[in-house]
Structure 1
């Protein structure tokens, strides 16, 4: 297994994502077997979110952690969406009103149309529930989940003030020993133009973290989609630092942020038959390895998160570790051929 050195971590180049799959026991069993096998094969990055599969993904990881050395893995999870637990046997709306609205954890006016909530009280609840689900005393990386959804409802000044208050909460979690680092897990926010409604200014976010936590703040990770079909993080200069326009990958490097890459295969939609010459150009023999090879060979990529709930997919995907990376200039050439 190949690893990346960052701060006090050695992070595996390939990580396991846990978004996909039905909210049922059969999928739980497959995830348990796949994550366990992945750890045995050297994967140490496991990513989830409290709302994935109605909290089942976190619970499965918690079951895995009962049987391994916690220090062997880097666990990241996310908070920001309303999680409906798999174990409730009532109408979810009524459950939410009773458990969140009536207890004043959430006010309806704080919820976006997408169900996104970024407030200290809600993130505090989500964080503590994730600790319980994961059966752990600490979380390695806690992501705010698609915070750009807030910009669909609130203006930018309000948005950044909300980020400030939640970062202060998360710095407190670090001080308590419950958290190592935090970050933003985005879908649109870091790959849209500067004038887009959901655009997130990374330098502004970094400055907020520094204001809240000082020079030794713990905002050190971002997560975003990047793949053959979604190359904005590499091509679009939508970030500005000291007057210079940079791509998200360039800005991340400048700010000292580690990147988790989501959706490298677009839920296997990018796995398709191609001509033999294409396989040879990527130096692979299997169609499924092409999108992985593209992403992991891109300069600026940290850990590639691949959704894997089946051991056969894990084994096939990890075969890429035996194949040399493409050179940065080869990736650059491929992208320029597309007209970017």
Structure 2
């Protein structure tokens, strides 16, 4: 296992060495563009492309990678782990120079084990009593859980795939799915139990920080089913973890189709209506963004979209899916251009 986590001193040194723009948190610096690993086929050919691109990116100026347990049937985490083990063992990169975020909550499949999500649920999660049927929230075709016992298992799986002792940021993945099924009271009660568990995981140094990676949960109208209040979530974290709690990151989509995080006052703090970016800043939470090209539908405006996001105050880093070195080169060049932040 690779010991350690991203440090402020060494992430700054890495980004300075590569003459990269950077964004600052109290705990580390990161590139304004991060390598996302969501899209792609569950094939060895796509794994080879991802591994090549991850290696190139980490050695040439992008020090932030984002993934999830369920991405590509667990292959995305495994692809990242193979590269991290190789380049840290060869001393081409130090663990303290890069930031890694991953997610759990959606029930995954395991491509390498030949298990689609339905089979994984039956033969691994239920059969081994990791979860019970009553722990599952089903919304349309998606299954979601909040039970801490599942996350104990999921975090261990992610650490094993990534070869990491400590995951820098661990997100609760699309929590609005459970909110839609449970309703506000039951959801926030379960969220409190889960945040308490996450704080214990921080104490054990399995994760360093936690957060929520949402789709529409933070940017929808307050009366919409599935809406999540950032102020309430932060107050729950403060209740279980004190002033120095570790709920410090959220992820949400921002692009030309979804500008709500920037333009729409969907959140409130102390009775004042504000955008998600404004609320997060007020609450001491850092925002990363996903789907900059609306899942590939706006790819023709790629460079303009990335520069717009890099110049938007309050965005820590934008997750950009890339499994081609040529794409990585273009994105690294964009990340090094002058920004107004």
TM surpasses 0.5 = yes
Q: Alignment partner of 1:224: what SS? A: strand
Is 1:56 paired with 2:75?
yes
Specify which of 81, 97, 107 is matched with residue 106 of structure 2.
81
The residue aligned with 2:23 is 4
Q: Deviations for 1:15-72, whole angstroms, at most 9, x for unmatched residues?
A: 0000011011111111111111111111111000000001111011111111222222
Is 1:149 paired with 2:177?
yes
The residue aligned with 1:289 is 303
The residue aligned with 2:230 is 202
Q: Identify if the C-alpha distance between structure 1 residues 98 and 226 changes in structure 2 by more than 3 Å, giving closer, same or farther.
A: same
Q: Identify if the C-alpha distance between structure 1 residues 94 and 324 changes in structure 2 by more than 3 Å, giving closer, same or farther.
A: closer
The residue aligned with 2:320 is 306
Alignment of 1:1-340 (within 5 A): 1-66=20-85, 67-68=87-88, 69-89=94-114, 93-111=118-136, 112-113=138-139, 114-272=142-300, 287-325=301-339
Q: Alignment partner of 1:153: what SS? A: helix
Give, in whole Å, the separation in 1 of the partners of 2:188 and 2:287: 21
Give, in whole Å, the separation in 1 of the partners of 2:125 and 2:63: 34
Shift of 1:267: 2.9
Tell me the C-alpha RMSD between the 2 structures: 1.5
Give, in whole Å, the separation in 2 of the partners of 1:26 and 1:234: 38
Are the aligned partners of 1:226 and 1:233 in contact in 2 as well (CA < 8 Å)? yes
Are the aligned partners of 1:288 and 1:317 in contact in 2 as well (CA < 8 Å)? no
The residue aligned with 2:7 is none
Q: Deviations for 1:203-232, whole angstroms, at most 9, x for unmatched residues?
A: 100010011111111000000000122100
Number of aligned positions between the proteins: 313
Give, in whole Å, the separation in 1 of the partners of 2:282 and 2:33: 23
Shift of 1:323: 3.5
Tell me, which stretches of 5 or more residues in structure 2 are unaligned?
1-19, 89-93
Give, in whole Å, the separation in 2 of the partners of 1:271 and 1:179: 33
Q: Which moved more, 1:55-64 or 1:97-106?
A: 97-106
Shift of 1:240: 1.1
Give, in whole Å, the separation in 1 of the partners of 2:243 and 2:271: 22
Q: Alignment partner of 2:143: what SS? A: coil
Q: Deviations for 1:96-154, whole angstroms, at most 9, x for unmatched residues?
A: 22321232222223222311111111111111111111111110000000001012210
Shift of 1:307: 0.3
Are the aligned partners of 2:291 and 2:319 in contact in 1 as well (CA < 8 Å)? yes
Give, in whole Å, the separation in 2 of the partners of 1:95 and 1:76: 23
What TM-score comes out, normalization by structure 2 length?
A: 0.88
Give, in whole Å, the separation in 2 of the partners of 1:73 and 1:307: 17
Give, in whole Å, the separation in 2 of the partners of 1:310 and 1:90: 27
Shift of 1:92: 5.1
The residue aligned with 1:278 is none
Q: Alignment partner of 1:41: what SS? A: coil
Q: Alignment partner of 1:221: what SS? A: strand
- Return structure 1 stretches of 4+ with deviation > 4 angstroms: none
Q: Which moved more, 1:315-324 or 1:246-255?
A: 315-324
